[in-house]
Amino acid sequence: MVSKEEIMKVAILSKLFVADDEIDSLTKDMGEIIAFADTINNAADEGTDFDNINNLSNVLREDEVVASYDREKILANAKDSDEGCFLVKNIMK
């Protein structure tokens, strides 16, 4: 069973707020989903290694310098930008 405290801790890690009036129903829903996820612990662990899908291997290539996107175009999607940079509130005094 998951507790409210665990949900609050996970919410902090997820950078999400959980409102006071949401916490009870969310804890209940999450409890049910996690109880469902727990069913995998009934399965025998065959120790099957799984590291990737369809036997993929790393793709390597020479590093080449190619043109990138135009700075103005990239910044056009930001709500706040200044002097060619993304603008955020200061994080250090």
By the criterion CB under 8 A, which residues form the site for other proteins?
Answer: 2, 6-7, 9-11, 13-17, 26, 29-30, 32-34, 36-41, 43, 45-50, 52-54, 56, 58-59, 61, 69-70, 73-74, 76-80, 86, 88-89, 91
Q: How far is the CB of 19 from other proteins (least distance, A)?
A: 8
Strands (E) located in the chain: 81-82, 85-86
Q: How far is the CB of 86 from other proteins (least distance, A)?
A: 5
Rank residues 46 and 63 by Cβ distance to other proteins and give the closer one: 46
Q: How far is it, in rounded angstroms, from Cα 13 to Cα 17?
A: 10
35-39 — which CB contacts under 8 Å span 24+ positions? 35/1
75 contacts 84 by C-beta, under 8 angstroms: yes
Q: How far is the CB of 65 from other proteins (least distance, A)?
A: 16
| Count, residues in the chain | 93
